[in-house]
Structure 1
Amino acid sequence: MEQLFWLPPHADLSGAIRAARVGTDPQIRLQAARNLSAFRRDFVQTGMLDRLIPQAVEAPEGLRACRLAILASHTVEHLLPAIRVACLARGLLAEIWCAPYGQYRQALLAPDGDLARFAPDFILLALDRWDTPLDVGLGATSEMAEAATARRVEELRGLWRRGRALGATVIQQSLIRPDTRLFGSYDRQVPGSPTAIAARLDSALCDTAKAEGVPVLDMEVCAALTGGAQALGDPARWHQAKQLVTPAAAPTYGDVLARIMAAACGLSRKCLVLDLDNTVWGGVVGDDGPEGLRLGQGSPEGESYTAFQHYIAQLGQRGIVLAVCSKNDTDMAERGFAHADMVLKRGDIAAFVANWDDKATNIRMIAQTLGLGLDALVFVDDNPAERAIVRRELPMVAVPEMPDDCALYPQVLAASGCFEAVSFTPDDLQRNRSYAANNARAAAMQGATDLDGYLRELDMRLLASRIDDASLARAVQLLNKTNQFNLTTRRYGEAEFRLVLATPGVQGWAFRLIDRFGDNGLVSVVLTRAEADEQRNLIENWVMSCRVLGRGVENAIFAVLALDACERGVGAMRGEYRPTPRNAMVSTLYGRLGFDGPDPAGTDGAVSWRYDMRRGVPPSPFIKVEMT
């Protein structure tokens, strides 16, 4: 199987890399490396690309710097170029440190060792089944196998917590199960067989990792994307050099790891933009009519499109926003959704654009309608010419290389990893419906005679609560994904955020908004920190979803913060604003809320505003606030 088959091929990738080496400006070389990382590549080309990435260079706008520590019980040095290049393709500029071979326990347990000095954002614990093997004997009972598994998992849990204490997000690599069987198909039914022990340990490891908030690098995913376990790992290379992953499979392994890291940083895509004709259904609705579309039972092609729609619908259910971008008459395109075998319904689509304009222009319109950045979008189209145009005009949009056979559409879209997740929250289940409800809100606003009347008719309720285990994952999502309404753009891994919340004097607030159109979910997160002997509160971080802008939510949130400060006898509040190219919309937020300032900017460009609590709690006329 060709590596990274979901990426478009390049006519001469090696030549393009060599040509990019001519430049001496580090930032230009970095941008060239990032551009070329978007193409299909093998192990050799990946190494060439890695050498193009300059060392010790500042991360420019659009890239996020991160530090990855790898603690492994097998050889990983040959994988590092693939990891760096894959991280670059996923929006991360990675610096990597490796612990000495097999010394993962020593690295984690040393209080002031090299790992602690490296101060990683991520720790990959890459272990294999030969490390601390659970040899319980073929005659072991299920209880004996369970006890041995529990002891190993408990040791790993302790190591995860040591890694989290460093403020890092720990990623646990799953186990590659044995490919030799002692009993054949009966192996899994013998509790002490190597196959059964490895399966039990891997399952317990994944369950415990979920409970601990530890993402898992699933080696079964790596194997599937490289053509099977034999393509991922070669026994000869294991015995020669303890390479668990072959060099040929390194690009895929690096990408699977990078997509997990990107997801933890909030860089996964949020919206799937779909072409219709010969993408969602077979045929051209304008020529064949809705009744002539190939869908459902009766033909392999029709069943393939139905299967793809099932996969799309499940993406919508898990929180991916669905949109349509089709060259069609709007009425005719919408009539296609009335086909008896359509799985997707018109109501599932949060933004529907069907006209004869170019698709790059329409995709910009979709992003604007949904309040999303172009880097949140994935575009799927069966037409290679349309895909090429969108890649050229909108390089921020992910465009998987779809195959000629529509039966493979779900596999390719899934393989692309664009929608990788490290958590799944109740709010995710409501997200696509929430974006669709925003269209109803927009329609209501167009019909309103004045803004105040519109806001009153929304019947808004703001639910304010302290961040707890139930809301933590969604809070981290919002902190990492929000760019525009983000006062300081401080980012956190889940482990780091837990440490911050546990700091004395820090309060974490979560805010949900409900109106007559439905529940908008958790829409804002605020962190405050006590200063000056607890007589002043610093608003250390404040983010809010752009879906609720223009409704006075920020005023209601500040009213909650101010009331809490007054009740605790706090004399003043201070707010910081750190400018970035994408958060100019909140540059005057504190001034609009009645703060005095700003003070002169510091060396990093940050400015500070101050609110004297003797002025009282500001009113919030259109939103009812409830403490939960």
Structure 2
Amino acid sequence: MEQLAWLPAHPELGAAIGAARKLPDAGERLAEAIRLAGFRRDFTATGRIDKLAQLARQEGAGAGLTTLRLAILASHTVDHLVPALRVGGLGRRLALNVHVAPYGMYRQVLLGEDAALAGFAPHLILLALDAEDARIELSPDASEADVAAAVALRTEELRRLWRRARARYGAQVVQQTLVPAEPLLFGSFEALVPAAPYAVTERLNAAIRSAAREEGVLLLDLAWQAARSGLAAGFADPVRWHQAKQLVSPLLAPSYGEALAAICGAVAGTSRKCLVLDLDNTLWGGVIGDDGLEGIRLGQGNATGEAFLAMQRYAAALGRRGVILAVCSKNTAEVAEDAFAHHPEMALKRSDIACFVANWNDKAGNLRHIARTLNIGLDSLVFVDDNPAEREIIRRELPDVAVPELPEDVANYPEVIAAAAYFETASFTADDAVRSRAYALNAERAAALEQATDLPGYLRSLEMTMTAKPVGPAELPRATQLINKTNQFNLTTRRYTAAEAERLAADPAAVMLSLRLRDRFGDNGLISVIIARPDAALPPGEMLIDTWLMSCRVLGRQVEEATLGILAGQARLRGATALIGEYRPTAKNTMVAGHYEKLGFRHMKPPAGAEPGAAFWRCDISDVQIPKHFIEVEAA
């Protein structure tokens, strides 16, 4: 597959970069750099876009981007990869600040005292190692037990480094897997010799993956990417290695940057949430309105039908792992839905689709409708359409929507969508697996609201029950995920790594709660996370509401009122006399600007050291008046 195949080609990328450099305003130059990052590019063009963006950022531009600090500790040369990483970040609405530790000094940096890294205060630390550094020297006739012991010893060293990084910096650790560099000694027999170099590297990678799962470490699985990308020659090239100790060729820098930026985006909460699918010639061959149910090509029996079936199966698999599925098609709704109901080869079912829009309106308007219906931003959508003209219209009209460029053959659609890493994640929980169904159930709730004669009657009819419990090991992955992904109903948009969230959850002086909501339609899953803690800028007895976030799919159901009662009770148990609410305005959370005022808090002067622009609200716990609501609250 061609490098960055999901991005469209620009007819004159070099000229466009040159023109962008002449724009008078730094904000305009940065906006143009972000736009140009969305085109297919080589190493040189990537470097020019990065320079354009960096100069604009130095002049103060950067509104709308999430800043993330990444430290790279490597056993090979990585400086040539940094521009591609930063440009990959632009496409994910990230302003990546990158610190590269001295070459080959990762042990010394982590085990000793490194002032530069401490001053940088990284959010993420990438341990980028190579097979040469991780070489395990064994005789070719070493036993299985000898190999297992050597691999375990090396893996345990990595565990110590990961733990040190988390304890000292509170950073999310990312481990790069090892790309086998040596030629085979035994040919196809290599895997059957325990101590053969390639076999040892594979075994070490398997041990690293297993240990990372146990330690909460993320993976940049370069070994899998090298094997699957078709670009393996650009990894561990012996010429580049001996000349410059480069594991990744400059030619592959754009791909490497995108892969690592996708992980950064997952940690920062900028990954996409929803896959929006066209129908005709995207999920089946032909036009159902013209060809009829029997005439579309789908399913076993011919290559084209099988390719469309494979595309549907991939979309269904994404739905099962938590990606919201929607349909946006120019079609008659009844005709389009008939395929889901009656075609025997459909892998996707109508119940898999959280929002189904089939009409003759323009697709840009329909995508806006889908985003509103699902209560997510346009920047959460990925729109897949076989029609190049429709793709171009959406890119122009809705630049926040991701629109992958598609190959001519549908057989290659799944691989291109996967390579784009739109839905990269930093965790996976049971709640994720049912998320798409939860959004579909919201449509049923909306239908019930339309039939209701009054709002209190509707809320009462939902038969809602909220469960609140302290965040423990079982809830921590999902709670951390919500902290880093929720943008709209989020009062402060503070982001915490898994290590930082774990420390807050373990602090006896703090309150960290996870809240779940179920009703007669089903379980909404974990819908809110609350963190309240003492703060040095506040008098004793006052607790700062550090984080209050909620899933937008439960808006308008009095969850906020019920949550306040739970929070006040937990704060009272810790001896608190007042709650201090903080609102940090962002481009996306204006919907909660009046949150504390609606709950009866009084506006107050910001405490010393408060972030500029933040507003603060106070409520004495003895004066808390919980507005009437229709939610039954139970402790877990």
Task: Please state which band the TM-score falls in when normalised by the shorter chain.
Answer: over 0.9
**527-536 or 509-518: which moved more?**
527-536
Deviation at residue 477 of structure 1 after TM alignment? 1.6
Match of 1:440 among 425, 441, 444: 444
1:50 aligns with 2:50: yes
CA distance in structure 2 between the partners assigned to 1:581 and 1:58 by the alignment: 17
Q: Secondary structure at the match of 1:289?
A: helix
Deviation at residue 183 of structure 1 after TM alignment? 1.5
CA contact (8 A) 1:506 1:529 kept: yes
Equivalent in the alignment of 1:491? 495
CA distance in structure 2 between the partners assigned to 1:123 and 1:57 by the alignment: 27
- 1:53-82 deviation per Cα after TM superposition (whole angstroms, max 9, x unaligned): 234354633311111111110111111111
Give the letter aligned to residue 535 of structure 1: G
Equivalent in the alignment of 2:626? 618
CA distance in structure 2 between the partners assigned to 1:430 and 1:112 by the alignment: 44
CA distance in structure 1 between the partners assigned to 2:103 and 2:114 by the alignment: 19
CA contact (8 A) 2:511 2:570 kept: no
Equivalent in the alignment of 2:317? 314
CA contact (8 A) 2:62 2:95 kept: no
1:246 aligns with 2:249: yes
Equivalent in the alignment of 2:144? 142
- 1:519-553 deviation per Cα after TM superposition (whole angstroms, max 9, x unaligned): 10110001010256752222111000110010000
- 1:348-370 deviation per Cα after TM superposition (whole angstroms, max 9, x unaligned): 11101111111111000000000
Deviation at residue 458 of structure 1 after TM alignment? 0.7
CA contact (8 A) 1:505 1:530 kept: yes
Equivalent in the alignment of 1:108? 110
1:336 aligns with 2:344: no
Equivalent in the alignment of 2:419? 415
CA distance in structure 1 between the partners assigned to 2:258 and 2:227 by the alignment: 13
Give the letter aligned to residue 99 of structure 2: W
Structure 2 segments unaligned to the other structure (5+ residues): none
Q: CA separation of 1:504/1:621 partners in 2, compared to 1, >3 Å: closer, same or farther?
A: closer
Deviation at residue 311 of structure 1 after TM alignment? 0.5
Give the letter aligned to residue 590 of structure 1: Y
Give the letter aligned to residue 39 of structure 1: F
Q: Secondary structure at the match of 1:334?
A: helix
Equivalent in the alignment of 2:600? 594
**481-490 or 580-589: which moved more?**
580-589
CA distance in structure 2 between the partners assigned to 1:485 and 1:462 by the alignment: 18
Q: Secondary structure at the match of 2:283?
A: coil
Give the letter aligned to residue 276 of structure 2: V
Matches within 5 A, 1:9-20: 9-20=9-20
CA contact (8 A) 1:33 1:49 kept: yes
Q: Secondary structure at the match of 1:470?
A: coil
Matches within 5 A, 1:25-104: 25-55=25-55, 56-58=58-60, 60-104=62-106
CA distance in structure 2 between the partners assigned to 1:316 and 1:569 by the alignment: 45
Give the letter aligned to residue 5 of structure 1: A
Equivalent in the alignment of 1:152? 154
- 1:528-582 deviation per Cα after TM superposition (whole angstroms, max 9, x unaligned): 1025675222211100011001000011111111122233332221111122222
CA contact (8 A) 1:59 1:93 kept: no
Q: CA separation of 1:436/1:527 partners in 2, compared to 1, >3 Å: closer, same or farther?
A: same
Q: Secondary structure at the match of 1:621?
A: coil
CA distance in structure 2 between the partners assigned to 1:288 and 1:260 by the alignment: 43
Equivalent in the alignment of 2:585? 579
Give the letter aligned to residue 613 of structure 2: G
CA contact (8 A) 2:472 2:505 kept: no
CA contact (8 A) 1:171 1:216 kept: yes
Match of 1:196 among 182, 188, 199: 199
- 1:178-216 deviation per Cα after TM superposition (whole angstroms, max 9, x unaligned): 452112222112111111211111001011111111110
- 1:75-106 deviation per Cα after TM superposition (whole angstroms, max 9, x unaligned): 11111111111111121111111111100111
Q: Secondary structure at the match of 1:62?
A: coil
1:381 aligns with 2:385: yes
Equivalent in the alignment of 2:301? 298
**81-90 or 21-30: which moved more?**
21-30
Equivalent in the alignment of 1:122? 124
- 1:439-470 deviation per Cα after TM superposition (whole angstroms, max 9, x unaligned): 00001111111111111111111110111121
**94-103 or 319-328: which moved more?**
94-103
Equivalent in the alignment of 2:517? 513
- 1:245-285 deviation per Cα after TM superposition (whole angstroms, max 9, x unaligned): 11111110111000011011111100000000000001100
Give the letter aligned to residue 140 of structure 1: A
Match of 2:358 among 329, 354, 358: 354
CA distance in structure 2 between the partners assigned to 1:431 and 1:34 by the alignment: 30
Q: CA separation of 1:616/1:606 partners in 2, compared to 1, >3 Å: closer, same or farther?
A: closer
CA distance in structure 1 between the partners assigned to 2:343 and 2:269 by the alignment: 37
Match of 2:455 among 448, 451, 464: 451
Give the letter aligned to residue 353 of structure 2: I
Deviation at residue 233 of structure 1 after TM alignment? 3.2
Q: CA separation of 1:582/1:611 partners in 2, compared to 1, >3 Å: closer, same or farther?
A: same
CA distance in structure 2 between the partners assigned to 1:534 and 1:80 by the alignment: 45
Equivalent in the alignment of 1:474? 478
Match of 2:329 among 326, 331, 353: 326
Give the letter aligned to residue 316 of structure 2: A
Deviation at residue 502 of structure 1 after TM alignment? 4.0
1:234 aligns with 2:240: no
Q: CA separation of 1:221/1:361 partners in 2, compared to 1, >3 Å: closer, same or farther?
A: farther
1:274 aligns with 2:277: yes
**574-583 or 11-20: which moved more?**
574-583
Give the letter aligned to residue 236 of structure 1: V
Q: CA separation of 1:616/1:4 partners in 2, compared to 1, >3 Å: closer, same or farther?
A: closer
CA distance in structure 1 between the partners assigned to 2:112 and 2:463 by the alignment: 56
Deviation at residue 222 of structure 1 after TM alignment? 3.4
CA distance in structure 2 between the partners assigned to 1:58 and 1:495 by the alignment: 31
Q: Secondary structure at the match of 1:54?
A: helix
Deviation at residue 23 of structure 1 after TM alignment? 2.4
- 1:453-494 deviation per Cα after TM superposition (whole angstroms, max 9, x unaligned): 111111111110111121111112211221221111111222
CA contact (8 A) 1:328 1:354 kept: yes
- 1:558-607 deviation per Cα after TM superposition (whole angstroms, max 9, x unaligned): 11111222333322211111222222221221122122224469661222
Q: Secondary structure at the match of 2:588?
A: coil
CA contact (8 A) 2:175 2:220 kept: yes
Give the letter aligned to residue 87 of structure 1: G
Match of 2:374 among 360, 370, 375: 370
